[in-house]
Each structure stands twice: as C-alpha cells, then as structure tokens.
Chains A and B, each alone.
Chain A
Amino acid sequence: MKGIVFVKFNEFIEELWGDDFWDTLLNEAELPSEGIYTSVGTYDDQELFTLIQLVVEKKGISSKDAQFAFGKWVFKELYNVAPAGAHDFKDVFEFLHAVQNFIHVEVKKLNPDALLPEFEFLSETANTLSFNYLSPRKLCFFCEGIVHGLAEHTGQQVTVSQPECEHEGDSRCVLEVVKI
C-alpha cells in the first residue's frame, strides 16, 4: 500500500488521540517498517491492518467504524494532493465515475505499480448509484467513509449502504449511494 495512506493514518490518529497514542501503537505493533513512513514509499498492507486492529482493541470501537472514520477524514487530505483536474467535479456520482477513468489514471502515472480498487457500476438513476467494489484488500467500509467525505466536500447529503458485503458472507461488495 502506498505510503501516503500510512502517513495520513498517522496524522489521523495523532489528531484524534495525540502522538503519545501513536507512539504506543507503534511500540506494540512491532512493525517491519518500525512506523517510519514516507509518502513516496510502499508498505505492506498488513501493517495498516495491524494498526487498525490495535486501535480497535484499545479504543473499544468496531473495525468497521474505524475504517469508516478514517475514510471520511482522509478524503479531503487525498483531495488536496490530487492532480488539478480532479478538482473539477461538483457531484458525488460524477466524481465516482471519474475515479476510474481519471483519478486512477493519474495515480498510475506517478505510481505504475500501485494496486487500485476497481468500481463496476451496476445501476444508476438520478438519485441512486450502485457499484461493485473490487479490491483484494476488502476495505469496503473505508470506501464507504471516503464516499461520505466526498459528499461533505461537494455539499451533498448522501446515505451509503451495502446490500451485499463480503464481510457478511456475500460473494461481493456492492455499495449503494443515495442522494437525500
């Protein structure tokens, strides 16, 4: 996973619970990278999962909520470092369509080896968009959070639900975004 995610997760944790807590997490996690993250590096996915698991244990929240919260928080952070063209979208659905055709293309230019999730759009009406979230990392809740962060950015009200989810025993994750 790209280093930017780890760097932002570090910032997120420190913002919520301070650098002491982050220090404690690293002490206990015994990560191969020793928590020395740079946004230009690439790190093992497992390190993020280990850190999230520790947060879950220490703060008594669910993994789903942790992922969701981080996703919602990180959107604006990623948005700020995204290439200029990514700033032209004013609508949640429009942006989601552009993720694959534009934003991921830009990401690939800088990080040819980046492993990116794919969206397979299933149906769309004026207010409802549903798509299949495809990623071996299975971070569908993180994705839900990001969609919320996006809606916050565009100033739209949305609900995000998962009619199908691999964590619930389904064969795939389907996200349904409804504008309120």
Chain B
Amino acid sequence: MTLSKEELEKRVAVLERKAEREKKARNLAENQLEKYSLDIYEANQSLKSALASATQKQSELAFLAQTSSNVASEVSLGEMISNIVALTGTLCSACCGAYITSEHGKEVKGKSADVWHLDVSWQANDEFRKAIHSTLPIAESKVLDTWAILDLGANCVEKHTEFTSLFYTNFALSGEKIGWLVFLTKTKVFEPELLSVLNTSREHVLSGIRRRLTDVRILKRNVQLQDSLNKLEKARRQLIQSEKMASLGQLAAGVAHEINNPIAFIRSNMEVLNDYLADFKLFHKELKSTLDKNETLDAALFESISQSMDLTYIEEDSKDILQSNLEGLERVKGIVDNLKGFSHAGDETLVEMSLDACISAALKIAGNLFKYEHKIDNKMSNACPKILGNLGQLQQVFVNLFVNAAQAMETAGQLTIDYSENEKRVVIHIKDTGCGMDEETLKQLFTPFFTTKPVGEGTGLGLSVSYAILEAHGAEVVVDSELNVGTTFNLSFAIAEQ
C-alpha cells in the first residue's frame, strides 16, 4: 500500500499526536504512582503512630487495672501504697519514687525509709530523700487535687543528671496527716492523656486509702463495742445475782420460820433429855448407895428402883427424841444447803440435769410460803427427760414462779406442777388457782421493773430475769391466765440428746 506524501504527513501527524498522548499519559501514571507511594507512606506513618498510641493506651489501661485491683484487694495500707509507687513509677519511667507522710508541715518518719527504683526495686537513697526535702513544699501542707511537676534545678540529684524533675501529688489522711507520692523523672510537662490516667489512678488510690482508714476505725469501734458488750454481760450476771438475793430476802421470813420449827422442837426435846439425864444420874446414885450399904446388888432391888424411875420408858423415849432431833437437824441442814446452793452465783455452763430434782430443791426453798390451806401437787417424777441446763439458774426461775404463785393465792389454793413431753421437747406446767392476771399485766409480764406488788415486796425484776435465763436456755414460755381463775406457766425445754 503506497501513500501519497500528503497522506503520509497526515499519518505521521496522527502518530505523533498519539505518541505525545502516550508520553503524557505515562507521566500522569507515574505521577499518580508517586502519589500512591506517598499516600501509602503516610498511611504507614499514621498506622505506626496509631499503634504506638494504642500500645501506650494499653499500658495505661493495664496500669489502671492493676491500680484498681490493688486498691480493691485486701492488702494492708502500707503494702497497697508500696505497690502503687512501683506501678506509677514504672508507667512514667521514673528513675525512683517514694511515699512519705507529713504532719503539721514536717515529715513523719515511717517504718522504712527505702525508695523505689526502676531498675533495682526498693533500697535506701539519701540523695533522693534530700532532693525531696529541699524541693517538695511539705511545710505548706497544701493538699493538691492533681499531680504537679517541680524542676529540681540546683537540687538536682547528681548521679542522674538527665532526671531533673520531681512530679508528685498529695492527699489528706486521717487527722492532720498528709500523704505524698513523689517521683524523680525526666518529664518536664505531662502529656494530657498521661495526666488524666494518673489522676484517675490518684482517685482510686484515695478511695483505697479512705476505705482502709475506715476499716481501722470500724475495727476500733468493734473493740469498743465488744468491751461494752462484756461490761453489759457482767452487769447482766450481777443483775441476776442481785435479783436472786432480793428474792432470798423475800423468802427470809419463811425460811427463818422453817428453820425455827425444828430448832424449837429440838430445844424442847433437849430439855426432856436433860430431865432424863438427871433421872439416870439419880438412878446411878441410888444404885451406888445401895451397893455401898449392902455390898451386893440383887436383881429384885435393881428392878424395883428401875421401875420406880420408869427407866424403860425413858430409854425408849430418849431413842425417839434423839431420832427426832437428828431428823430436825437434817431438815435444817437441808434448808441451809438449798439456800447455799441457791445464793451461790455459779458459772453459766449448761450440763445435763434433772428438772425433777431442780423443782424439788426450789420447792424446799419456797415451800414455806404455802400455808396449810394451800395444797401442793408435785407430779414431777424421775421419768421426766433430762435437759441441758444450769441447775442454779433454773432453780432461781422456779423459786420465782413459786413465790409468785403463793402470792397470787393469798388465802388458799392449789399449786400443781406437771410435765408433758413430745419428741424433742419437755414442757413443765406450773399451775396455780390464784387471782390470775388481766391483759395489761400479761402484756408487761416480762418487762423489767414492772410489778403489781406493793412497794418493798417485789423488785419488778423477777420475771424479766427469769425470762432472760430461760432465753439463754433456749426455752419457750407460754403463759395462760384468767382473772380470778388462775395462771399456768408452760416452760418448754429441748430434751438433752442421749
């Protein structure tokens, strides 16, 4: 194919333009590639800085998490502060750090003067201490609400010329005390983010310190409370004993009468015995004079003298009288023994005991309050199950109930003591046919110092003390009472396990 010159020139022009476009396109593409390269480089750079910031964030978060868990843990105040110093110092790449406390503008010497170091942990560092003293405004006693940086300047710690700043915070402790966290660092200015992290941790630490100080206060208060409780317990025991002695006072007249009776008949018996002794002396004298006169003693004569003096009867009667005296003395001894047992304060331990024996002993003490017109029907028996109790204390309860019953039945009546039992409990029923109680009285039955008795007769503490004793025995009390019919106290005790 041959082309004319004109056609050729035209063709060349087309190709030249095409080549020109291709060249320009290549330039464009190369520029675009350069731009892409730049974009990629910049993207890389921003990724790197994002990674660095994420790493920093991560370490800050780890720091906050460790601070929090340290604060929330049960470690002591001192240990917590030491951990916080190490954590904070590590986060800020501080050279060293310490915790000190001050009071009235002066440092209070702590247990340890050691300083935390980034590389070698805790050890003494006098230089750092000196720098703290000459730079920190301890004397001002001003409490900050954030962290602050101080330039060490001339006070620079010589060994670490690149560490030229102190950064610190402080907070109020109990009383006038102020706690200071101080670190030696290169940092001249805080990054806002780091400062915010440090402030967050500062709040955590503050709450941890407050909690621990409160714990100490609570502990002190607890000790005081325990002390008060002990005093109260002592007072309670004294009260029980006082009430017991008071009721003993009430019983004294009756008891005296009870003792007086046997003593009276013993005395009259002794008089009779005295007469009998005189008779025997006389008999002896008669025998002696007869023997002196006759030098012999025949049986008929002995018999006649003996009969004239009624010696056989005297002998028989003396035996009876002695027996009666012994019984009388036994009675007195019994009463005195019971009184002794009753008035004895004793301990409060619970042991296996018989309610039957306890009630019998109580009846012996209080029984004399009941007169001939009163009938006492004690249906208790050996078969009554044993319980865990304190004999002395329960005796006090029963005496108190019997005294009340006697006073409720002024002229005549019947006291019935009985028991019933179910699987796990035994219930003692103490029933009188006395004046009974109205609802008002029933309501206040166990209220201390409430009494229906005239002044001088009752303390108003009897039943409230009895109730306290029964409560300590885990006993339940149910009172049924009807005015002018009578009252029944039902005391339910847990049966002792065999």
Interface residues of chain A, those whose CB is within 8 Å of chain B, are 19-20, 22-23, 26, 34-41
Contact = CB atoms under 8 A, between A and B. Distances in A.
A26 B11 CA distance: 15
A26 B13 CA distance: 14
B21 A40 contact: no
B14 interface: yes
A14 to B, nearest CB: 9
A41 B32 contact: yes
B6 to A, nearest CB: 14
Contacts of B28: 36, 38, 41
A41 B33 CA distance: 10
Interface in B7-52: 11, 14-15, 17-18, 21, 24-26, 28-29, 32-33, 36
Contacts of A22: 18
B29 A40 contact: yes
A19 B26 CA distance: 18
A40 B14 contact: no
Contacts of B32: 38, 40-41
B399 to A, nearest CB: 98
Contacts of B21: 26, 34-36
Contact of A20 (B14, B25, B29): B14
A151 B348 CA distance: 105
Contacts of B25: 36-38
B15 to A, nearest CB: 8
Contacts of A38: 25-26, 28-29, 32
A143 B136 CA distance: 78
Contacts of A20: 11, 14
B28 to A, nearest CB: 5
Contacts of B26: 38
- Dominant secondary structure at the B interface: helix
B24 A36 contact: yes
A58 B26 CA distance: 30
A37 B14 CA distance: 17
Nearest to A35: B21
Contacts, number: 32
A88 to B, nearest CB: 28
Contacts of A19: 14-15, 18
Contact of A23 (B18, B24, B29, B36): B18
Contacts of B36: 40
27 contacts: A19-B14, A19-B15, A19-B18, A20-B11, A20-B14, A22-B18, A23-B17, A23-B18, A26-B17, A34-B21, A34-B24, A35-B21, A36-B21, A36-B24, A36-B25, A36-B28, A37-B25, A38-B25, A38-B26, A38-B32, A39-B29, A40-B29, A40-B33, A40-B36, A41-B28, A41-B29, A41-B32
Contacts of B24: 34, 36
B296 to A, nearest CB: 158
A22 B15 CA distance: 11
A22 B24 CA distance: 17
Contacts of A39: 29
A19 B29 CA distance: 21
A39 B29 CA distance: 8
Contacts of A36: 21, 24-25, 28
B31 to A, nearest CB: 9
A113 to B, nearest CB: 12
A173 B18 CA distance: 38
Contacts of B17: 23, 26
A138 B29 CA distance: 29
A171 B21 CA distance: 41
A37 B21 CA distance: 8
A40 to B, nearest CB: 4
Interface in B232-254: none
Nearest to B24: A36
Contacts of A23: 14, 17-18
A23 B29 CA distance: 21
7 A-B pairs with the lowest CB-CB distances in the bound complex, closest first: A38-B29, A36-B24, A40-B32, A23-B14, A38-B25, A36-B25, A36-B21
A22 B22 CA distance: 13
Contacts of B15: 19
B163 to A, nearest CB: 48
B171 to A, nearest CB: 52
Given A22-B18, A41-B29, 15 more contacts: A19-B15, A23-B14, A23-B18, A26-B17, A26-B21, A36-B24, A36-B28, A37-B25, A38-B26, A38-B29, A38-B32, A40-B32, A40-B33, A40-B36, A41-B28
A162 B21 CA distance: 39
A40 B18 CA distance: 19
B56 to A, nearest CB: 29
A37 B18 CA distance: 11
Contacts of B33: 40
B285 to A, nearest CB: 149
Of the listed residues A23, A26, A41, the one surrounded by the most CB atoms of chain B closer than 10 A to its CB is A23
Nearest to B10: A20
Nearest to B22: A36
Name, among B11, B14, B15, B26, the residue most crowded by chain A CB atoms within 10 Å (CB to CB).
Answer: B14
A23 B24 CA distance: 15
B34 to A, nearest CB: 11
Nearest to B13: A23
Nearest to B18: A19
A19 B32 CA distance: 26
Nearest to A42: B32
Nearest to A20: B14
Nearest to B21: A36
B102 to A, nearest CB: 61
Nearest to B36: A40
Nearest to B32: A40
A41 B14 CA distance: 24
B157 to A, nearest CB: 54
B42 to A, nearest CB: 15
A37 B27 CA distance: 11
B39 to A, nearest CB: 11
